Amino acid sequence: MSNVSALQQKLNEAEAVAHDLRKQLETERKGERTQAVTAIKELIKTHDLTAADLGFLGKGAAKRTTGDKRNVVAPKYQDPDSGKTWTGRGKSPSWLSAQLAAGRSKQDFLIQH
């Protein structure tokens, strides 16, 4: 057997050992994870913890449990005909766009405080 062949065989054996060790490590990690999940579930049950207690809130859950934390902006413009209002943020409402197209100014619809 040549020196290169012997080295290749040793490399193949080492790679097989490394592969086996990776599989063993993965199995151990899965087992530890399963034990951790079991222990955590028991603690949650024992202490009657909720997802909110742990800081785990899904989409929309924050609004239901803590309210919407966005700042409320007072309306700045009002349509005198319909009474509809607009804060001045985002896309202009259709009632204002129609009035602007007719030649009126935004200033005409400012809410006087």
Given a cut of 80, whether residue 66 has pLDDT beyond it is no
Task: State pLDDT tens for residues 5-33.
Answer: 999 999 999 999 999 999 999 999 999 99
75 and 60 part of one domain = no
Q: Has this prediction a pTM greater than 0.85?
A: no
Amino acid type, 51: A
10 and 57 part of one domain = yes
Q: Report how many domains make up the chain.
A: 2
Burial class (CB in 10 A: 0-12, 13-18, 19+), 78: middle
Distance between CA atoms of residues 102 and 106, nearest Å: 12
Question: What pLDDT is stored for residue 51 in this prediction?
Answer: 84
- CA triplet 42, 44, 50: central angle to 5 degrees? 160
> 56: pLDDT confidence band, cut at 50, 70 and 90?
confident
Q: Note down the domain range covering 96.
A: 71-109
Amino acid type, 52: A
60 and 75 part of one domain = no
